[in-house]
Structure 1
Amino acid sequence: MNITKLAKETGIKYQTLLKNIEFLEQKKIIEVIKGEKSKIIRLNYSNPKVIILKNLFEELEDI
């Protein structure tokens, strides 16, 4: 998802979102793929912590 769309869908100010994205990227929770005109954000599934969190959220949905 691109950053502008994410900001609109979440209602978070763009600059606040950028700071959080930078933090999550440094922690290797997300990957930012930079294109010519946009940046795409996705979860970093090569990080074991991301898999654990994903599984936790899936389990919580079942409760």
Structure 2
Amino acid sequence: MNITKLYRLSGLHYNKLKKELEDLEKIEVIEIIGSDQRAKIIKINYSNPKILVLINLLEELYKDE
């Protein structure tokens, strides 16, 4: 998902969103792909063990729905 779409969906101020994304990238929860300011794509880092635990937790919580 690109930053602009995420900005529209989140309702956050753009600068706040950008700061949060930078923080998430530092702890390797997400990857920001692209060198051009206009073409940055946000991607979940599925190789991060914390993400895998979170996915498993959510699957467990919602498996009966």
TM-score where L is the length of structure 2: 0.85
Question: Unaligned stretches of 5+ in structure 1?
Answer: none
Question: Unaligned stretches of 5+ in structure 2?
Answer: none
Give distance in 1, aligned partners of 2:62 and 2:25.
Answer: 26
- Over the matched positions of the two proteins, sequence identity in percent amounts to 49
Q: Which residue of 1 aligns with 2:30?
A: 30
Give distance in 2, aligned partners of 1:39 and 1:2.
Answer: 6
> Which has the greater radius of gyration?
2
TM-score where L is the length of structure 1: 0.87
Give distance in 1, aligned partners of 2:40 and 2:57.
Answer: 28
Root-mean-square deviation (CA, aligned residues, Å) is 1.3
